[in-house]
A and B are shown apart, each in its own frame.
Chain A
Amino acid sequence: SSELTQDPAVSVALGQTVRITCQGDSLISSYASWYQQKPGQAPVLVIYDKNHRPSGIPDRFSGSKSGNTASLTITGAQAEDEADYYCNSRDNTGDRYVFGTGTRVTVL
């Protein structure tokens, strides 16, 4: 089955930029969506359709892709961005979904 691999944890200084990557074969032919999850809360969509943000998501969040790797970039990280982030895409069958392993972002 398809897998999406993310770094377990990254840290970023307040106001600096951090990039979270997501690697997997299913990303060669599809784009990832990205979800933010804070402790005790449901996930929230932050990026979809290459690099679109839902209403209410700050423009410091952006998405990109190169080959089999998708990236979520937070430019000018804020304290409230501290959370777990998950990528997601359809798997190689096209019928099922796969989530990335998740990245915990700490804002210092």
Chain B
Amino acid sequence: EVQLLESGGDLVQPGGSLRLSCAGSEFTFPSYAMSWVRQAPGKGLEWVAGVSGSGRNTYYADSVMRRFTISRDNSNNTVYLLLTSLRAEDTAIYYCARDKLGSWGWYFDLWGRGTLVAVSS
């Protein structure tokens, strides 16, 4: 089955770090750009970071620039999100999503179930 499976969410103290993983299965992983999208409790969706299929190009939302790092290991079909200098407002469910380029633009055609990151002392 084509799917994405996130892991690594945890309770962490403010200022701490965490690495999230997202494993893809049953599709040609290097052919797809990937993104992380988060959702704070009771709030909307927020795109956080993206990485090209090769891993050479990365992009970030202003809210996480210089604190989060996205990377990928195509030999293991996995994309990572390293979260550092964590703040209470980073508390959210973090979803991994597959980017797809259609005829009229980009969209997310496959989503994982998410992993919960809670930042609290």
Contacts and interface: CB of A to CB of B under 8 A. Distances in A.
B111 A43 contact: yes
B107 interface: yes
Chain A interface size band reads 20 to 34
A54 B109 contact: yes
Which of B35, B95, B105, B108 is most buried by chain A, counting CB atoms within 10 A of its CB? B105
Main secondary structure of the interface of B (DSSP, over half): strand
Interface in B83-121: 95, 100, 102-109, 111-114
Interface residues of B, number: 25
A102 B44 contact: yes
Contacts of A31: 104-105
B46 A52 contact: no
Nearest to B58: A95
A50 interface: yes
A37 B50 CA distance: 21
A49 interface: yes
Nearest to A103: B44
B104 A42 contact: no
B61 interface: yes
Contacts of A30: 104-105
Contacts of B102: 48-49, 52
Interface string A28-43: 0011110101000011
B106 to A, nearest CB: 6
Given A98-B47, A99-B47, A42 B107 contact: no
Interface of A: 1, 30-33, 35, 37, 42-45, 48-50, 52, 54, 84, 86, 88-90, 95-102
